[in-house]
């Protein structure tokens, strides 16, 4: 089973279409206005700031995304990933912990 700091599986989960669209929505909330106003792509930020800082900014949007509930099957990517991992490694176990922030409103995507 993955360690608590291993996010490789979660990153693979992000590649699923329903989660990708949700992440794109959060990503746009973080960077869309400045990118649109300056007619830039996120890759332009990496060229200006360097890859390390660009990935730090990307990580901020990713962390925000992980806390949000969406109106898609599963609702929250961390909760859904946790359920899938339990189903794979320990069938029959319920979710031990919810990672979503109940105070946030659900988003519409996919």
Domain definitions of the chain by residue range: 9-89
Percentage of the chain modeled with pLDDT above 70: 73
Using pLDDT thresholds of 50, 70 and 90, give the confidence band for residue 85: confident
pTM above 0.75, yes or no: no
Q: What pLDDT sits at residue 12? A: 87
**b/e map 66-82, b = 16+ CB within 10 Å:** bebbbebebebbbbbbb
The terminus-to-terminus CA distance of the chain in angstroms comes to: 30
Instruction: Quickly count: other Cβ atoms within 10 Å of residue 4's Cβ.
Output: 6
């Amino acid at each position: 089973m993955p360690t608590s700091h291993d996010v490789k599986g979660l990153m693979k989960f992000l590649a699923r279409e329903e989660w990708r669209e949700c992440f794109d929505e959060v990503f746009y909330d973080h960077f869309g206005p400045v990118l649109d106003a300056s007619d830039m792509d996120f890759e332009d930020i990496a060229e200006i700031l360097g890859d390390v800082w660009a990935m730090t900014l990307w990580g901020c949007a990713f962390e925000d995304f992980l806390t949000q509930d969406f109106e898609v099957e599963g609702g929250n990517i961390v909760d859904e990933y946790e359920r899938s991992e339990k189903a794979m490694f320990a069938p029959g176990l319920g979710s031990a912990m919810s990672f979503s922030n109940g105070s946030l409103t659900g988003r519409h995507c996919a």
